[in-house]
Amino acid sequence: MSANPLAGLRIGAVSYLNTKPLIHSLESRALTLEVPARLAARFLAGELDAALLPVFAILEAGSGCLVDDVAIACRGEVFSVVVASQGEFSDAKEIYLDPSSRSSSALLRVLSAEFYPGCHRLLESAAIPEGAARLLIGDPAIAFRRHHGATWNYHDLGSLWLRHTGLPFVFAVWALATENKSVGDAFRAAKEVGLQAREEIAASCDDPEFVSHYLSAYIQFGLGLEEKKGLKRFETLARRHGVLPQGGPAGISWN
């Protein structure tokens, strides 16, 4: 029997529901779970050998060895990355950002600058005034929508991205500290196991029907040509509007 190529690796993942199919078959004792911004900082500091990283962190770093055909992505509505407001998206003059995710904040900055110029003032603050528009991501976004229901409007960033670009959006991918095809193959295999286990994952959650639908209808786990086009389009627009530094494209390799 061949050795597990992931054995002994320090592996980090985002601590949200949408990661569960990708980490379902991995040994829990080998996993470090963090919010996206903290996870990226730990990987870039050399504290992790592999991490399910926000794409913005990879593009900002300027290079990365990424596992092909595995992602957290969407083609249209993603449900858990939204601007919640009391009115229309274009009428939200001030939007408070979520400090736990620089990728989603960067996506909002790109959408606002490219397609809604002059409409929004994006603010970073730990204290959000009651009733103010705010960016919500991941499990907190799901919880907010459950609690507030239709009393708020939810402007889905995946839907806005698809409407304006016609492309999927990629939120996170596996990044490796060192190129290794067997490790990439192991993460691809883990994805397939996790996709087959979505009903099992859902059954262990408080709302199995919602979780099953969320992990099947909203979140996409593949990374193909269209997703790479979406990633490239995001990079181009982010550099155009100063969300990423000006200069050449990131030196990304696919493992």
Q: What is the pLDDT of residues 140-158, one digit of tens each?
A: 999 999 999 999 999 999 9
Q: Does 1 have pLDDT greater than 50?
A: no
Indicate the number of domains in the chain.
2
In a domain, 5, yes or no: no
| pLDDT tens-digit readout, 82-115 | 999 999 998 999 999 977 778 899 999 999 999 9
Which of 24-33, 38-47, 131-140 is the least confident region? 24-33
In a domain, 57, yes or no: yes
| pLDDT tens-digit readout, 197-245 | 999 999 999 899 999 999 999 999 999 999 999 999 999 999 999 999 8
In a domain, 48, yes or no: yes
Q: Does 2 have pLDDT greater than 70?
A: no
In a domain, 194, yes or no: yes
Domain final position from 137, 165, 193:
165
Q: Quick one: pLDDT at residue 62? A: 81
Are 69 and 172 found together in one domain?
yes
Q: Which alpha helices (DSSP H) does 9-136 contain, by range?
A: 20-23, 36-44, 55-61, 102-115
Q: Does 50 have pLDDT greater than 50?
A: yes
Are 227 and 156 found together in one domain?
no
Are 248 and 173 found together in one domain?
yes
Q: What is the CATH number of the domain that holds 195?
A: 3.40.190.10
pTM of the predicted structure, to 2 decimals:
0.93
What are the DSSP calls for 56-68, one per residue? HHHHHHTEEEE-T
SS3 content of the chain, % helix, strand, coil (to 5): 45, 20, 35
Are 130 and 176 found together in one domain?
no
Domain final position from 165, 182, 212:
165
Q: What is the mean pLDDT of the chain?
A: 92
Are 65 and 86 found together in one domain?
no
Q: Which domain holds residue 119?
A: 81-165
Domain final position from 165, 184, 202:
165
Are 52 and 30 found together in one domain?
yes
In a domain, 4, yes or no: no
In whole angstroms, give the CA distance from residue 202 to residue 212: 5
In a domain, 152, yes or no: yes
Are 97 and 121 found together in one domain?
yes
Q: Does 126 have pLDDT greater than 80?
A: no
Q: Does 35 have pLDDT greater than 90?
A: no
Residue 249 binned pLDDT confidence (cut-offs 50, 70, 90): low
Q: Quick one: pLDDT at residue 27? A: 76
Name the one residue in this structure whose structure tokens are 């990283």.
Answer: 53
In a domain, 1, yes or no: no
